[in-house]
Structure 1
Amino acid sequence: MPALKEADLIQIRRHLHQIPELALQETQTHAYLKAVIAQFDQTNLTVRGIDSLPTALLVRVAGSDPKRTIGYRADIDALPVTEATGLAFASKHENVMHACGHDIHMTVALGVLSYFASHQPKDNLIFFFQPAEESENGGKLAYEAGAFEGQWRPDEFYGLHDTPDLPAGAIGCRMGTLFAGTTEVNVDLIGKSGHAAYPQNANDMVVVAAQFINQIQTIISRSIDPIQSGVITFGKLDAGTIRNVIAGKARIEGTVRGLTQTMIETIDERIKDVAAGIARSYNCKVDVELNQGGYLPVENDPKLTANLIQFMQHADKVNFIETEPAMTGEDFGYLLSKIHGTMFWLGVQDDSQLHAATFTPREEAIEPGIDAITSFLNYRMQQA
């Protein structure tokens, strides 16, 4: 079949929007993607999966005169969000929604793939439909499973993320870090419970938790260069059972964000230092668990990113906008730590933000996004 047309793309996007699935559970999505790809011209295509990651899908397009292999990644999972858009094609899966726009990501990738299936590229292309971006770091899992070895290893990797903050169809990018890296922080404080009237016989973890949180907040203001960027947020605190019993245990859960891996590691070490000091000061036990997984900062390769930006700035019909770094996380950062590449934004213009139950990306962004990416890839293939 020829490259997908706008009506086809919208139909695909709306179908995908109705079948959102959580990380590592994307069975319907995987089956639908395979069915769509099976309709393309198969002459130069090779499709394969990953045994240890059964919802992942890889498609190789053989080039006519390859000098390199170019990778393109699209994430396929959804979020545990109850949709409130009121759309006729809203999610059919209870309490699950494509609230981050991965249905747009997949549709754009299918559009690009359909073009190169019917217009053989000069270089080899690898399309990676990745499960588990929102959690479980599917990019890291795929890499560690050996998905990108031999003829399946890209020399360079590209991917997009949609954003409601740019006009529909606009391309956004920047040199350096596009997305922050993240670390999950879990802190268990263990003291001694007791009667509210006899605090001297207990070790109150509510008080200790309060002190811990206050001291942690000084890390950003007093341990980090103010020209740099970092965030520590504790979003959950559990302690106690009733008002007149001193809590002997407390648990705090939060997240660290940093624009470089060095920044994240610095913050992580300072959290450990504060925990050790709190434990000694209050004669209690403080256990800190830090889990970054595959959510490294998305640090764009300087040479490849400059090339992409230069193309987008001068390309006909591309509305290019230079963007600021975002403190949101993205596991494409792990792949970029292993393979040089670039991530960029596709504007989808909406009043609601990513992850909101009302997030409604504009579908008129899909075709311009596909056109910009296919044009760039063709341009890249002509370069030495």
Structure 2
Amino acid sequence: MGNKIDLIKIRRDLHRIPELGFREFKTQQYLLGVIQNLSTERVEIKTWRTGIIVKIHGHNPTKTIGYRADIDGLPIIEETGLDFLSEHPTEMHACGHDFHMTIALGVLANIIESPLKDDVVFIFQPAEEGPGGAEPMLQSQELKEWMPDMILALHVAPEYPVGTIAIKTGLLFANTSELFIDLKGKGGHAAYPHLTNDMVVAACSLVSQLQSVVSRNIDPLDSAVVTIGKITGGTVQNVIAENARLEGTMRTLSSEAMEKVKNRVQSLVKGIEIGYDCECTIDFGSGYYQVYNNEPLTREFMDFVEQETEATIFECKEAMTGEDFGYMLRDIPGFMFWLGVDSPYGLHHSKLDPKEDAIQLAVNALTAYLMTKGN
């Protein structure tokens, strides 16, 4: 299976042209070229912004099965030293979306060659890394016309060996939200602090207070994370900072906990405004809904993989990672799983180098599953 196209070449071609969310113009054209070369009278193709939706008509359909692959890259300078290094110096497929697209194309090629009884829709979705393509794509007329009855997707996992599919029923990935806080006080000469309102001091105090949100406001049996990843403020060493900015992320294992975290952050920021006589604004930016795997479909898939494929199932724990595929699973029954790719460097690392052996294994397993599920 999967030999109709050169999967390794495709992966390396895609790895060379990573593009950020809703700017995947080269990627879209490359994917369209491969898909159009495979097309038959049973295949229909639509585009949505920089994404692609492909429908393979079944010969006697009673349902539509969806498969989603995300297509964007990250603003990371690649340091892998690979012969097929990114040609875009400040962008990289550091989250494995080059693998995701290649696997989807391999499965698509197999289904085109051996059409199922049921319809299959392949969704090549832009902007997973930001600002989020799944939710607006779900609302698009293009996808509404071909809305799947069930849907599945995968994500590469550097920590698992090739041959492993890690999955669990229920919650797999967390609810996420960005966090941006701007503080504005009164700047001035470093020698006269009593005439100013120092926003570096205020920002440092706020960072410390934010660390109490999880430890003192979230049930110890629940889980949440508040991380401040970036602080900016001030201009030069001898001027007291008039402005400061905190940038971070929040993650929880329940939507209720996310609301508690947001409410507590707002309360702490109001306290900073009073205590440091400053003005603050909060922007929660974009956030992703939890990835929640449908139990019957997930169990069915796990049993199939164990009995009918070369892959090994590992029942993993939930993770604090975020994925906008959660919006699709909110509206459509389905599941996502981790695919082992055995790299010493993790997701979003400039040296991530997944093992390409995982590509064919995933194509074979998914093709076999869809052949069974759609016939």
Q: How far, CA to CA, are the matches of 1:6 and 1:326 in structure 2?
A: 36
Provide structure 1 residue ranges, at least 5 long, that are not aligned to the other structure.
none
Cα root mean square deviation, aligned: 1.7
Q: How far, CA to CA, are the matches of 2:62 and 2:303 in structure 1?
A: 21
Amino acid of the structure 1 residue aligned with 2:320: M
Amino acid of the structure 2 residue aligned with 1:326: A
Q: How far, CA to CA, are the matches of 2:15 and 2:277 in structure 1?
A: 52
Displacement of 1:235:
1.1
Q: How far, CA to CA, are the matches of 1:274 and 1:232 in structure 2?
A: 13
Q: Paired residues, what number?
A: 375
State whether residues 5 and 106 of structure 2, in contact with CA within 8 Å, keep that contact through their aligned partners in structure 1.
no
Aligned to 1:17: 15
Aligned to 1:323: 316
Kindly provide the CA deviation profile for residues 1-54 of structure 1, in whole angstroms up to 9, marking residues without a partner as x: xx631871111111111222221111111111111112224131111112xx1x
From 367, 372, 375, the counterpart of 1:379:
372
Matched, 1:63 2:58: yes
Q: How far, CA to CA, are the matches of 1:280 and 1:41 in structure 2?
A: 64
Q: How far, CA to CA, are the matches of 2:96 and 2:43 in structure 1?
A: 26
Provide structure 2 residue ranges, at least 5 long, that are not aligned to the other structure.
none
Q: Which runs of 4+ in 1 moved over 4 A?
A: none
Aligned to 2:175: 181
- TM-score using structure 1 length: 0.93
Kindly provide the CA deviation profile for residues 47-71 of structure 1, in whole angstroms up to 9, marking residues without a partner as x: 1112xx1x11000011122221111
Kindly provide the CA deviation profile for residues 76-110 of structure 1, in whole angstroms up to 9, marking residues without a partner as x: 11112222222222222222221111111111001
From 227, 237, 250, the counterpart of 2:244:
250
State whether residues 6 and 367 of structure 1, in contact with CA within 8 Å, keep that contact through their aligned partners in structure 2.
no
From 158, 162, 167, the counterpart of 1:164:
158
Aligned to 1:74: 69
- TM-score using structure 2 length: 0.95
State whether residues 17 and 91 of structure 1, in contact with CA within 8 Å, keep that contact through their aligned partners in structure 2.
yes
Kindly provide the CA deviation profile for residues 164-199 of structure 1, in whole angstroms up to 9, marking residues without a partner as x: 111113211112222222211111112222333333
SS at match of 2:348: coil
Aligned to 2:38: 40
Displacement of 1:146:
2.7
SS at match of 1:327: coil
Matched, 1:154 2:148: yes
Aligned to 2:88: 93
Kindly provide the CA deviation profile for residues 118-148 of structure 1, in whole angstroms up to 9, marking residues without a partner as x: 1111211110011111112011221233332
Aligned to 2:203: 209
SS at match of 2:281: strand
Displacement of 1:231:
0.7
SS at match of 1:84: coil
Amino acid of the structure 2 residue aligned with 1:68: K
Q: How far, CA to CA, are the matches of 2:243 and 2:341 in structure 1?
A: 45
Q: How does 1:329-348 map to 2 (within 5 A)?
A: 329-348=322-341
Higher mean C-alpha deviation, range 268-277 or range 279-288: 279-288
Q: Give aligned-pair identity as a percent.
A: 43
Amino acid of the structure 2 residue aligned with 1:286: C
SS at match of 1:326: coil
Q: How far, CA to CA, are the matches of 1:314 and 1:267 in structure 2?
A: 43
